[in-house]
Structure 1
């Protein structure tokens, strides 16, 4: 089916399992005044994929929680009547590691309401057998895309593997009459690609259109982010509408030619869609100018945004390339166990108090420490100078430990030696009385590699069809692909036709936080963190790209960049966005499930770097601080 005459309107209703639950129902009930054709929602992440893998494997022997996402069901139930009433399509990646199980529950909900909704589900993302067979046959050594390690050398035993599927299974399901399409691990943008492909009747070789839909999908798949959530310009959003209290949800309008406009809900909500909010979301997860999907590669070095009105931003400058022949695979293994304890340090001599506590606790843990794989002490923050209340004079110290076996983190071997230390402790020694984090919890290692798309059995299930041979539809891999270099283009310093002197060419300077002038946004991709910086004015961009070389950013990262081996940093420029993007390889330890940093999603890398002091041109500061 092909629709003509207007763009498809696709609503982004969830960005994670911990997003608010109301958006699907809200979009559906406001359809008469703010119509949308398809609602998409993203409930999956590397963390819940890995933890759900453990639950899925355990289901064979024990009673465990479901391995699909329960929060999706909370969001879906109040929306079902309006979805049916208005004929709105829905595509979600909420199956996590049990999409068929989710389908069975959703069908019971639909039937209980007496609704005539056709529910399809997509399989093919579960690929551990394909990985094992290829490994045994010597067809691939499955190098880790972050570390270069071979899978055979990994010190953990894989229990589950999931690959990232493209959007054409979703498109096929809609074309066959599905109202709701349930997916496991499709890529975050695949529901938008699939919806646009179906609606406009595109072909697989129309790569420019697919690339634009891919970027649109990336912009709205994190729901509120493109409307002002997690945005360094958040202070300007405090007043007007619902202000900060209720940031709205986005809509992507995609024409038959692939033109994209990002907007938001028409009814009263807070937030905004601007060039800066779109830039913020774009820079969130990219790792270079080539942005890969199973259906297309988007080339981003010329991308820019154009404000077309209030809460309306057009996407410009996206180019395309064929998709890679491979797709990303996440392999899960049981990683052991982790426990934590927290202490509070107040007032003067915080650093000395922290050293005292660490020396005492290390001595208490010494009889058991040879079984620990990790033991870390982190002082988080610094009290205010001359604080006006006691809380602002306090900094927490976090002790985190990991071990392969739960018994090695039993209370007698971790919690008790830590809490028993209180009487000889630093002045004011106080630990957190909620000790639940001090008991061992399971953690999961997550190994990211690549699998040929030809080894994936991407399949759509259409249970309402009359015969068995019509109830399953296989989706072929892309007919044309391109192998890209393993590393993206990187430029350690900017290029100038004429030499630039930061000390003299921009006038008088004042020392202050980088974030007084510069926006930034960061996030995680496995163990890597990425961070993009951009400025509001064209003349500031010359200064920004001159200042932010790889070496300067290494200095700003400070202790994080001085590890051994040295932190690898890649850099590329986005001149049309007035931005510079960095990839920090393996900054996040071993990824979200097992990293010992509190910034387990890498989102505060940008906030840390914006707080670092540099010499700022006074003429830029006179325009007003961010």
Structure 2
């Protein structure tokens, strides 16, 4: 492979890389504003998620039936347009995964765009993530593709796979940059892969420089969610953002990666938000699965990481350990799940449980034997009525009837082509009992949600890297194959899990106060398929022994109460960060694409746990709450 140095031809000490998007919906101003900063070397962004992958994958797989469908993220084009001339002027590089399920098509759009703006920016793209053909061949030959969250073999899934995408690493991006690309369009690369690739290119790292690659992987993990590391989702938002009038324009994050791999997390100087040890810790704990963080290029060990404040809005990351990558990578498999719909009722005041039961019995009676055609049918109440409420709104809760079925006619509410308006349907069954319903019976009058919309099932498994045709396609029409890693290590499917060693008696700290855990404990949670991770940490070192002693797996199940699914929970600690991490296996009802819950992304699991009452040592509580 070519080994051109940094963008200036010789490796500088620091690569300055900015995170410009954490999702398809992120603020468009990012590229335009950060492209104006000539000190920034690389702009990278994450445009896709498990949700968007399923939709784009289906669009790609069914394109022959609808030639107008695009399988990439057009929002990237809109964000890129106003920045093109500054990117060219400041000789910046751009690496994004906005190609989703068709990076070549997006690359051609961008090639025309940069030409229209009178620049000579060179656009290359990376392929190989679409492994549908090879996956189906292996499936036919008996490969079981067990689910990562549940270990269930895929033949128990009950739906027909449509497409499959593998998570690629950063080596292809590095090779594209080494061969002169200014903009690299990728499909499903791992969220952190553009940072790994950019750092490999900039600092001339090889594929077995595992320590440096692991640092870059951690940097990418911290930067890829955009403002999540600069104040977004931060549990200390009240004092440090909201009350400080510092919350309306959180800056986009910037990483300064040194030649040995160590790096600093900072942010735009002219924007709001905050970078401190707590915001970085929260993002570090987000969406991880255990002490080992796997990537196609390297494995990073998290449980020795240390964070060192270096001044206002600057945190240095050290203590990362790099190990060889596994011979496999993650694969996301999409299937059509069927149709889903929902109807909402508002219930006010007294007898809420009985009102719900009345709606349930009447609705099920209306459905009759048709209820057997629903794969999912739930009656969920959101909210509760306080004693002696001060206004009607606070005395009102939401009843959500949620259904999924593979019978399109049943979910059509008479709108499906060729179906008569009087055909039995989910929406009709929910509404027809209103006049014999509960006291004050009031449905939500916008019934568009009662009309079925398609949903997808998503299956996560492992796929051998040597079965992937990873390639770089350059602006000057070359195709460069990227071989799989030569030095790999097979890791157990089960990561280390343990309760704390040498717990202390909980009366060690004297008098306690019964209060919400989150009054002194920060946290972050999130989804990976149907797994939910939960990281909790304290602000002060002398609180660590209390936190690690309190938060055992048994205690977490106690705090979860009715939310405990009875499934496996893994636990490990990061002592230098005063953090306890849990992985709630298969907790999220199949994950974001098909979940019947409001909390489809698992982000509110943390906030639920933080609001639960525990006995907090008074000496800690008296320091002030978060």
Shorter chain as denominator, the TM-score bin is: over 0.9
Give the conservation status (yes or no) of the 8 Å contact 2:12–2:203.
no
Of 151, 170, 173 in structure 2, the residue corresponding to residue 170 of structure 1 is 173
Give the conservation status (yes or no) of the 8 Å contact 1:372–1:408.
no
Compute the RMSD of aligned alpha carbons. Answer: 1.4
Give the conservation status (yes or no) of the 8 Å contact 2:162–2:334.
yes
Of 253, 257, 261 in structure 2, the residue corresponding to residue 254 of structure 1 is 257
Decide which moves more: 248-257 or 63-72.
Answer: 63-72
- Rounded to whole Å, the distance in 1 between the matches of 2:326 and 2:611 is 38
Give the conservation status (yes or no) of the 8 Å contact 2:335–2:458.
yes
Listed one character per residue, the Cα deviations across residues 390-410 of structure 1 (whole Å, up to 9, x for unaligned) are 222221111100011211223
Of 494, 505, 508 in structure 2, the residue corresponding to residue 505 of structure 1 is 508
- Rounded to whole Å, the distance in 1 between the matches of 2:531 and 2:397 is 28
Listed one character per residue, the Cα deviations across residues 100-127 of structure 1 (whole Å, up to 9, x for unaligned) are 1111211221122121110000000000
Report what 1:597 is aligned to. 597
How far apart are residue 240 of structure 1 and its match? 8.3
Q: 1:356 to 1:12 in 2, by over 3 A?
A: same
Of 236, 245, 248 in structure 2, the residue corresponding to residue 245 of structure 1 is 248
Give the conservation status (yes or no) of the 8 Å contact 1:241–1:270.
no
Decide which moves more: 573-582 or 401-410.
Answer: 401-410
3-state secondary structure, aligned to 1:238: helix
- Rounded to whole Å, the distance in 2 between the matches of 1:106 and 1:286 is 33
- Rounded to whole Å, the distance in 2 between the matches of 1:110 and 1:500 is 62
Report what 1:74 is aligned to. 78
Gaps of 5+ in 1: 466-470
Listed one character per residue, the Cα deviations across residues 154-173 of structure 1 (whole Å, up to 9, x for unaligned) are 31111100000000111111
Q: 1:239 to 1:394 in 2, by over 3 A?
A: closer
Report 1:247-396 matches (<5 A): 247-267=250-270, 269-396=271-398
Gaps of 5+ in 2: 414-423
Report what 1:228 is aligned to. 231
Listed one character per residue, the Cα deviations across residues 166-208 of structure 1 (whole Å, up to 9, x for unaligned) are 0011111111110000000000000000001100111111100
Report the TM-score when normalising by structure 2. 0.95
Report what 2:453 is aligned to. 441
Decide which moves more: 568-577 or 356-365.
Answer: 356-365
Give the conservation status (yes or no) of the 8 Å contact 1:368–1:413.
no
Give the conservation status (yes or no) of the 8 Å contact 1:58–1:64.
no
- Rounded to whole Å, the distance in 2 between the matches of 1:265 and 1:97 is 31
- Rounded to whole Å, the distance in 2 between the matches of 1:386 and 1:120 is 64
Matched, 1:114 2:136: no
- Rounded to whole Å, the distance in 1 between the matches of 2:380 and 2:67 is 37
Listed one character per residue, the Cα deviations across residues 447-496 of structure 1 (whole Å, up to 9, x for unaligned) are 1111111111110001325xxxxx111111111000001100000x2111
How far apart are residue 63 of structure 1 and its match? 4.6
Decide which moves more: 420-429 or 452-461.
Answer: 420-429
3-state secondary structure, aligned to 1:165: coil
Report what 2:579 is aligned to. 579
Give the conservation status (yes or no) of the 8 Å contact 1:443–1:594.
yes
Report what 2:19 is aligned to. 12
How far apart are residue 70 of structure 1 and its match? 1.7
Give the conservation status (yes or no) of the 8 Å contact 2:330–2:463.
yes
Give the conservation status (yes or no) of the 8 Å contact 2:588–2:595.
yes
Give the conservation status (yes or no) of the 8 Å contact 1:240–1:270.
no
Report what 1:201 is aligned to. 204
3-state secondary structure, aligned to 2:435: helix
3-state secondary structure, aligned to 1:368: helix
- Rounded to whole Å, the distance in 2 between the matches of 1:240 and 1:428 is 39
Report what 1:468 is aligned to. none
- Rounded to whole Å, the distance in 1 between the matches of 2:281 and 2:440 is 46
- Rounded to whole Å, the distance in 1 between the matches of 2:166 and 2:15 is 28
3-state secondary structure, aligned to 2:514: strand
3-state secondary structure, aligned to 1:490: coil
- Rounded to whole Å, the distance in 1 between the matches of 2:399 and 2:243 is 39
Q: 1:383 to 1:108 in 2, by over 3 A?
A: farther
